[in-house]
Amino acid sequence: MGKLQESVLYYHGNEEKGEREVRLLKSVLIRMGVRIKNIRPEQTKELVGYLAGLPGFMEQEQKGEGAPAIHQDILVMQNFTSARIDALLLGLRKAGGAKGDLKAVLTPQNAQWTFYHLYEELLEEHEKLAGK
């Protein structure tokens, strides 16, 4: 069985992040051979598993209706080894991108959540780590 394609679900919600920073982030992913799936605001009520293309996940009926705003960038990594996560984080740091972005690895648990629920969990975790 071959190696699964690494991919990132990328949500751009930080209006303060300029187009140049977004291009830097995406260029690091492209150089690493990582597939990028851009998540749009109207998709935040979709299940993460559906957005990641996992089998058995269906599109939600009320997509986009009343989708809450997310004002941060989010990266959700799929099919990454620990070494590749480290390489990605180092590449992003060197490029000056992804500072302050919320990051997660796709798991069987968070695949069941809506993208917005994942955001809420990441935000809570981020605030706990920051001592807020």
Write out the two tokens for 49. Answer: 């598993």
Phi, psi of 117 (to 5 degrees): -60, -40
Helices (H), 9-98: 19-31, 48-51, 82-95
Cα torsion through 131, 22, 30, 92, rounded to 10: -30
Q: Is the whole model's pTM more than 0.95, yes or no? A: no
Tens digit of each residue's pLDDT (9 = 90 or more) over 69-115:
899 999 999 999 999 999 999 999 888 766 678 999 999 999 999 99
Q: Which residues touch 62 (CB under 8 Å, ≥6 apart)?
A: 45
DSSP H or E run through 122? helix 115-129
pLDDT for res 19: 85
Say whether pLDDT at 63 is over 70.
Answer: no
Helices (H), 47-81: 48-51
Label residue 65 by pLDDT band (50, 70, 90).
low
- The set of long-range contacts for 124-129, using a CB threshold of 8 Å and a minimum separation of 24, is 126/102
Say whether pLDDT at 1 is over 60.
Answer: no
pLDDT for res 111: 98
Say whether pLDDT at 119 is over 90.
Answer: yes
Q: Average per-residue pLDDT in the chain?
A: 89
Alpha-carbon gap, residue 126 to 128, rounded angstroms: 5
